[in-house]
Structure 1
Amino acid sequence: MSLTISFIYLSESFNNSDFQVESNLFGFEICRKELWGNQKLKDLGCLIIPKLKEFDLFIIKDELQTIYEDCQIILEHINEISLATNYSDEFIKFRINNLLNFIEIALENKENLGLNIS
């Protein structure tokens, strides 16, 4: 199975299917523990993404900014994370960029949109 990113609609009156994102992939199921739940991410200061180790993520409102900051930390320390997890820089960067595409749209509509990673 694969981990995927999707929108959560917080308002019944808001439903825009015109959002364009190229990929919703966030890795394989094993990435929950080996990559996103790795202690290295916690040590670097990530707050939300490491929780994926234990459960699916439902990110709304102010949490969107926090997960955005997690993504920035990961991109800034991608080489260290790659060494700690044995996942390539390219593998990590591709998935973080997928998430950032979703985050940007959700931040622009944060009263109406959230994110789910499962």
Structure 2
Amino acid sequence: MSLGVHAYRRDEKGKQEFLAVERTGGGEPTLFGPEVCRTGLWGAPCMEELGAVLLPGLAEHDLYVEGAELEVLKKETEHLLANRSTIAAATGYREDFIAFRLENLLLAVERALAVEGGLGGVVIW
């Protein structure tokens, strides 16, 4: 199995409706890594050492982020993207592998933040 990242909005009844996310330059915008990345990358000790609070949760469960936590996730993702060389050295994953997936997450977060009324969210499963 592979991890996927998706932006969504909630309808009037609270049901999730997935939103299209475009990635310029090619590549699948929903890729977030193979299942082993839950612990070997996103749940690696270096993530918490770098200050990540949301992504390390993937080691234990799927991640659903809505409301004010979207801004937290955005800042966390930008910080991790800026520190991808440190993450690569600590985990053994290539920098471009890490960057591609964090860029996908950032695209999903930005799409969710654009949903009117604060009804957007991001899920990683």
Same fold (TM over 0.5): yes
Residue of structure 1 in register with 2:108 after alignment: 102
Residues 43, 15 of structure 1: CA spacing in aligned structure 2 closer, same or farther, 3 A cutoff? closer
The question of 1:19 aligning with 2:20 is answered yes
Residue of structure 2 in register with 1:113 after alignment: 120
Q: Percent of counterpart pairs with the same letter?
A: 33
Instruction: Quote the RMSD (CA, aligned, Å).
Output: 2.0
CA distance in 1, matches of 2:67, 2:57: 17
Residue segments in structure 2 that go unaligned for 5+ positions in a row: 24-28
Query: Runs in 1 of length 4+ with deviation above 4 angstroms?
Result: 13-18
Q: Could you state the TM-score of these two structures normalised by the residue count of structure 1? A: 0.90
Q: How does 1:1-118 map to 2 (within 5 A)?
A: 1-12=1-12, 19-22=20-23, 23-109=29-115, 111-118=118-125
Equivalences, count: 118
Residues 84, 15 of structure 1: CA spacing in aligned structure 2 closer, same or farther, 3 A cutoff? closer
Residue segments in structure 1 that go unaligned for 5+ positions in a row: none
Residue of structure 1 in register with 2:26 after alignment: none
CA distance in 1, matches of 2:69, 2:19: 23
Q: Could you state the TM-score of these two structures normalised by the residue count of structure 2? A: 0.85
